[in-house]
Structure 1
Amino acid sequence: MKSQFIKNYSLLLFLCCLLGFTSMAQKASQAISRPLLLKQFKQNFSDAQKQYQFLAQHLPAGKFPKTYFPNTDRYEFSNSDWWCSGFYPGSLLYIYEQTKDQATYQEAERILKDLEKEKYNTTTHDLGFMMFCSFGNANLIAPKPAYKEILLTSAKSLATRFNPKVGCIKSWDSKPDDFLVIIDNMMNLELLFWATEVTGDSTYYKIAVTHANTTMKHHFRPDYSSYHVINYDANTGEVKQKKTAQGFANESAWARGQAWGLYGYTVMYRVTKNPIYLDQANKIANFYLNNPNLPADKIPFWDFNAPNQPEALRDASAASVVASALLELQGYVKAPLAKTYVSSAEKMLWSLSNSPYKAAYGKNGGFLIKHCVGHIPQNTEVDVPLTYADYYFLEAMKRYQELKK
């Protein structure tokens, strides 16, 4: 009897604590007003300018920042052919737009010169990340014929990886009969759409639409979670295998993969205005935002099905991408859903703007965002800063500032 009383009392105490934390979370959420967020974002951009000056001071000539290991105070750099090379100049340009700091702009121009040669790179599907996030932003700020040429050449290089039999752009080179396509590739289609817009050549547009349609058909499960990798038969276009590379398991929902899909189909609707893409984006968002495993601060575990929750590592990079995508997607839906998307993005950005995710000046190697996950199965870039987390965080804040009240 005494034992049962203790059990009941413990359960009651746990429920009271849970309700207390829930109430606190609700109050915190209610406290995130637009003026408060805008004030925080202004501070974030100011902090970003200082952080990236610090990062630039530690960058060797000809190298691009990749990550930093706080436990050992060690950087990892890359060459220009690494898929993330465009995010550093892209982040600098987002910072410059907000601060008008000339040193930041000059650093962006300097690193763009090192990146330009990748316009001829036909060994990667990531030219959208590499060239459009960098030269695309540079061309918006100060249009130049040289930037246009670089972007068009990059689009031509990307188009060489398209296989009409498969209906996709190849992601990773493998055996001759394999044709590997990852969900990340949805993010590179924007470069192709841009190429059609400026040249009138519909070839790029058709490649992008075909790739998106094929991906929509094979990459998604009935609940609109996404597989990471589809292996097609290069000769017939038939699906040979559905699997993961960076997620927990073949049938799990790798968090950043869901983010890439959401962002990618939002862009597809923006360009084509085809309602099937809007429907797809909304359903991916529904899976993500209403997932029972999404933490209260809306910074996801690295995989929605990761073991050892709630102790599993978070992936702040996925939250950055999703926040940016939602702030665009809200503009294409009706008011009740738009409000949900904005409030979710607000929560994500508020979490990213504060401890434990936002770094203090001079910490985190100069990167802005902490606690990202690159590739747990290969034990690389685990619980570290990543350049694309910073890039999409900055982009999301910019988009929020541009929202109409």
Structure 2
Amino acid sequence: MLSQKIIEKLRENFIHIGAENPKIGTQDLRWEMCEDGYWVAGFYVGELWLAYMLTGDQAFRNQATMRQPFFEHLLNEPALINHDLGFLFSLSSVAEHKLTGDEKAKVLAIRAAEALRAQFQQCGEFIQAWPLTKINTENRNELAAGRMLIDSFENMALLFWAHKQTGVQSFYDVAVAHAKTAVKHLIREDGSTFHTFKFDAATQQPIRGETLQGFSDDSCWSRGQSWAIHGLSQIYRYSGDIAFLEVARKVADYAIAHLTETSLCPWDYDALVDERGVILDSSASAITCAGLAALAELDPENAERYREAANRMLASLTEHCALFDNPEAQGLLDHGAYFVKRGADRAMLPYGDYFYFEAALRLSGKHDLFW
């Protein structure tokens, strides 16, 4: 059973990963670890909580909870606060509270939701990506003001969860307002997507769509597309608004129609093929697979078609990208395309690993997870 193989691989690598949070794989299949507050830090913790959920094994719970200080520190440092708090806290603190009832974890998750809500731009009705900061990682200050990212579809689940926990209506209202703005500006008529959308920093009037990590502004970066598929499925689950289901179908259908012959995602659906051939992105494939499996559970009209596509993708990921047979590998999947335009076109990626595990669970009928 695939989930059992994943669990055993996670257990084998406790000794290598320790109390740190994987960021990106090296060429020799080791992990580089996250710095303070880095946006991917929640995904390995999410894998640990999924393993604990399935096994009840205290070792997985201990591995997950030892990382709680990392997330508490993040909320106490203003320079680390950004639009990715949903990625960070849905799979750590929300998961911990859901599985163990821990009240400190609940408080941390609500604090994170409050910090995410505080970044809502009221005139433009969107959550700001990347605050202006002295840290200025990767020159983001030049990009930050008036910027919305497609990743944010995933982060809305934290706000919806906070609304259910507290009854505070503004959590729900901000999540829905941002999601509607994101649908309007990030999703094209044909179901493809922009990575980012730029607004005037002063007036918050819309300017243009851009695709920073994709092939070009007019192309469709597959990981961005996958965030939309999975994120919109969760937004529909929380809101019940059929408009979100309809657009989730639209982005899902676009992705299915543009997969490779092996039912995996190229790094960008419109990228030209050079001497390297088709560059796959196992992370986009895993996220898309989990999103399709989630949609199948929510959309009876298209359930069979989405489940079949997800099963093909999961089988292909296991055949072409999985690292179970490599005892030196500290992750689950090879062929993650982190940032192709910078030359980072093949690595283990923790979000690919997490969503591979989640997809396997969803396709086995387990949908009560952490989003």
> TM-score, normalising length from structure 2?
0.90
Whether the 8 Å contact between 1:64 and 1:80 is mirrored in structure 2 is: no
Q: Deviations over 1:347-382 (max 9, x none)?
A: 01111222x2110255463201111111112233x2
The total of aligned residue pairs comes to 355
Letter in 1 for 2:25: Y
Do residues 394 (structure 1) and 357 (structure 2) align? yes
Alpha-carbon spacing, 1:163–1:101, altered in 2? closer, same or farther (3 Å)? same
Map of 1:147 onto structure 2: 105
Give the alignment partner of residue 331 of structure 1, picking from 278, 297, 304.
297
Q: Do structure 1's residue 262 and structure 2's residue 229 form an aligned pair? A: yes
Native 8 Å contact 1:54 1:362 kept in 2: no
Partners of 1:49 and 1:298 in 2: CA distance: 25
1:133–1:60 CA distance, 2 compared to 1 (3 A): closer
The 2-side partners of 1:177 and 1:339 are apart by 41
Taking the aligned partners of 1:288 and 1:364, their CA distance within structure 2 comes to 33
Corresponding residue for residue 365 of structure 1: 329
CA distance in 2, matches of 1:142, 1:282: 34
Q: Which segments of 5 or more consecutive residues in structure 2 lack a partner in the other structure?
A: 132-140
1:131 and 1:232 mapped to 2: Cα distance? 27
Q: 2:90 touches 2:109 (CA, 8 Å); kept in 1?
A: yes
Q: Is the 8 A contact 1:224 1:284 kept in 2?
A: yes
Amino acid at match of 1:110: M
1:345 — aligned with what?
A: 310
SS at match of 1:377: helix
* Cα 1:73/1:266, change in 2 over 3 Å: closer
**CA contact 2:196–2:211 (8 Å) conserved in 1:** yes
The 1:399–1:75 alpha-carbon spacing in structure 2 relative to 1, beyond 3 Å, is: closer
Q: Is 1:94 aligned with 2:50?
A: yes
Alignment partner, residue 7 of structure 2: 49
Query: What is the alpha-carbon distance in structure 2 between the residues aligned to residue 322 and residue 177 of structure 1?
Result: 27
Q: Any conservation in 2 of the 1:245–1:377 contact (CA below 8 Å)? A: no
1:113 aligns with 2:77: no
* Displacement after TM superposition at 1:262 (Å): 1.1
Alpha-carbon distance change, 98 to 353 in structure 1, aligned in 2, over 3 angstroms? farther
Structure 1's 366 and 51: CA in aligned 2 closer, same or farther, altered over 3 A? Answer: farther
Write out per-residue CA displacement over residues 86-143 of structure 1, whole angstroms, 9 at most, x where no aligned residue: 1111101112222333322211111233333223455311110011111211222111
Q: How does 1:3-402 map to 2 (within 5 A)?
A: 42=1, 44-59=2-17, 63-70=20-27, 72=28, 74-120=30-76, 122=78, 123-173=81-131, 174-175=141-142, 178-291=145-258, 294-308=259-273, 311-335=277-301, 337-354=302-319, 356-363=320-327, 365-380=329-344, 382-402=345-365
Q: Report the TM-score, using the length of structure 1 for normalisation.
A: 0.83
Q: 2: distance between equivalents of 1:392 and 1:75? A: 17
Indicate the structure (1 or 2) with the bigger Cα radius of gyration.
1
Distance 2:39 2:363 in 1: 27
**8 Å Cα contact 1:135/1:147 also seen in 2:** yes
Percentage identity across paired residues of the two chains? 28
Equivalent residues of 2:31, 2:330 under 8 A apart: no
Letter of the 2:161 partner, please give it. W
Residue 252 of structure 1 aligns to a residue in which SS? coil
